[in-house]
Structures are given as C-alpha cells and as structure tokens.
Structure 1
Amino acid sequence: MKAKKGTKTNACRILDQENIQYQMYEFPWSEDHIDAKSVAEKLGIATDSIYKTLVTVGDKTGILVACISGGMELDLKALAKVSGNKKVEMLPMKELEKTTGYIRGGCSPIGMKKLFPTFIQKSAELEDEIIVSAGKRGMQLALNPKELALVTKARFVAIHH
C-alpha cells in the first residue's frame, strides 16, 4: 500500500520510485515517547518488529547507519569490525539533522542526504517484514528487509547485544 496523498515522505517517494511494496503506519507522537517501545505500543505490535535507525561515526569511514531491532542494543565494537573501523561512536544528536536530513524520532534509513554505508541486524534477514521510520515522527513503514537492504545498499551483519 502506498501512503495517502499529502503524507508522503522522502522515504516513501524512493520506495514508490523503486516499486517496493510497503505499509504505512501513522500514530500520534510526543517528544517523551519516540523510542521503539513506545512506537510498538502505539501500533500494537512487538518491540522487536520495530527497527531503530542509529547513526554512528567510524574513525576511518565516517558516517555509518545501523538498523537494529527496538529491543536490542547496538554493539559498537561489532559495527566497527564489519565496517572496517577501529572505533565507532554514536553521532552527536545535534549533528543528526545536518548530517542525515532527519530529526531524532523520525530518522529513516531510506532517503538520507547521502547514501551512507548501512548495516542491518543479521536476524532481520529471516523476517518477512520489519518496520522502520518513514522519515517523520509519527510515521513508520513496514517492508521486506531484503528490499530495505536493496534500496539502502545495506549488508546484514551481527551488530547487536
């Protein structure tokens, strides 16, 4: 299903352009409740189905994007290893919008200002569908993880605790 006219985000437009099927979810959000657990509760689904988009910086490669299940924690050492870095740190929040074009709570792995190296939690490969931010707070989209990897040129790797 495609998004309703007027509610399309950059991520939706890219998926439409690539003929990738997705389901759009919209919900009321608040500054206090933009984490994966809160989103899952609002949508009535398991936290593990929501994949958060985390933006990091590698000491050799620069910006990296990681998508991991909402109930998990990113393993920075594992991400460093698979991305060819010695060290990886979270991108400071104040630099998120300038770097990606997205704000906290509305950061999609699809349609950032540039196509950064992207890594998706390995177990997502086994799922039929995962849910990621549509690029706007209060909007999520569900799609096949292999198609997400295709559109973001991502690799499936073990990067979580």
Structure 2
Amino acid sequence: MTISDSQNTTQLQFKLTQKLGELDSVAKKEIQSNFVKNDFIDISNEGKYDKNDYQRVLDKFKSSDSEIRTHEQAHAASGHTTTPISYKYQTGPDGNLYAVGGEVRLDTSIPSDPKAAAFKLSQIQESATAPSALSSADAQISIQANLNKMLLLSKGEENAS
C-alpha cells in the first residue's frame, strides 16, 4: 500500500462521514417538519360545538352519576359488605369527575351450620337484588345464591331421610 492509497482511503472515509452527517441532519429536519404538521390541533374556533349538545352530555353524566351512586348505596345498605363502595370515575365536559361504575364487595363466607348458611345465602340474595334496576352482575350473584340455597336445602332433605 502506498501513501497515495492511504490518502485516498482517508479522503473517502472523510467524505462518507460528511455525507452521513448530512443525511442525519436531513432526517432530523424531516422528523421535525412531520411532527409540526401532524401534531397541530386547531382550538381557535370555539363555535364548533353546539351549547345544547354540551348541556345534554353534561346532564347525562350527572344523571348516570346519581343512578350509580344510588344503586351502589342500596347494596351497601344491607350491611353485609367487606369493603366500602368503590367507584370508577370519568371526567365530564365541565372538568368534574362523575361516577360511571361502581362495586360493593359482599361477605360471601358461608357458615358450616346449614340453617345459618341458608340464612346467609338469603341475605346475599337480598343484598344483590336491593337496587330497583339490577345489573347483570347483581342478577348473577342472586341466581348463584339461590342455587346454592336450593342445593343446601336438598342436601338437608337427603340427610333427614
């Protein structure tokens, strides 16, 4: 290898490094220009929504919040809960939080005494069906408690005979 070959190699490497730097610079500019173009939200025109729609949505949030709170409080009123009421919230159009779901954990432990167990299953069923409008989970709990109570009673009849 001669001196001119090493100079040519060095010059070639230098030019490649320059081109890579230029390409990197172009790529960064392209990313920035795409970011600016794609991530712009026009909020200058406030008249794009109808005030009646805003009020309708807000009323729906308030109504749903009230129904959910009443529903969960009806469950909790039975006194057979293991935890306080837990609500799921969503932010409404006015920035306030509104309940959009909730749950109450019932004490589902069953005593070993058949009469006490039947009484406890009746209480669970009553707690699940306490609200006037049942959710699918409420109905499922009530059905399961009723089935368990019937199973318990049928076992008691078998043992008596």
> Is the TM value for this pair above 0.5?
no
> Rg bigger for which structure?
2
Higher helix share: 2
Higher strand share: 1
Band of TM-score, shorter chain: under 0.3
